[in-house]
Amino acid sequence: MKETINHAKEKMTKSLNALDKEFAAVRAGRANPAVLDKVMVDYYGSPTPVNQMAAISVSEARILVIQPWDKSSLKLIEKAIQASDIGINPTNDGNVLRLAFPQLTEERRKELCKSIKKYGEDCKVAVRSIRRDTMDKLKAMKKNSEITEDDLKDCEKKVQDLTDKFCADADKAVAAKEKEIMTV
């Protein structure tokens, strides 16, 4: 019974962590190395993440510098970034790549806020789904006489409290990210 609730809490935490990862990849007008997390480079026949091939640093507020450890991979990294959905063309000076993040327009900020709300809603749906699965398990335990009616009620309340907490945390994360994006 307790392990069932702990398992649900673990899964809900993972959902919230996934939301944070999604938010890190959203371009908010500032240079953020997490934008490159999903960019894969075809390096000697195997897809390799950019962050495993180069040092990525923020030189200014809106400029990301990518310095490959192997100079011959510079063109490959450049091609991979151009082919990705980042929407920024890197500048190549022969040694490093620079990604200049443009200032976001009001329209683009609103689009980003919509997608952030969608990510937040997806996270809350996942949390509620975990709650439903956990409740089903608890009801099955009650049906098999593994727990009493009172235990079931207590556990249902605990699971609901957990769900409320994680949904509130998701809402807070969404609000914080929206504030970050809307700040000029």
Clarify whether residues 65 and 78 are in a common domain: yes
Question: What is the spatial distance between Cα 158 and Cα 164, in angstroms, rounded to a whole number?
Answer: 10
| Structure confidence by residue, pLDDT tens digits, 25-72 | 776 667 778 778 888 888 888 888 888 888 988 888 788 899 998 888
Are 62 and 117 in a shared domain?
no
**Element spanning 52, H or E:** none
**What is the rounded average pLDDT of the residues 84-104?**
83
pLDDT the model gives residue 173: 92
Pair 76, 39 in one domain: yes
Q: How far is CA 93 from CA 10, 66, 72, in A?
A: 46, 11, 13
21, two tokens:
């990862």
Q: What is the pTM of this model?
A: 0.71
Phi and psi dihedrals of 70, rounded to 5? -110, 110
Query: C-alpha angle 49/170/108, rounded to 5°?
Result: 65
**Residues 138 and 77 reside in one and the same domain:** no
The answer to whether 48 touches 41, Cβ cutoff 8 Å, is yes
Domain tally, the chain:
2
- In a shared domain, residues 173 and 112: yes
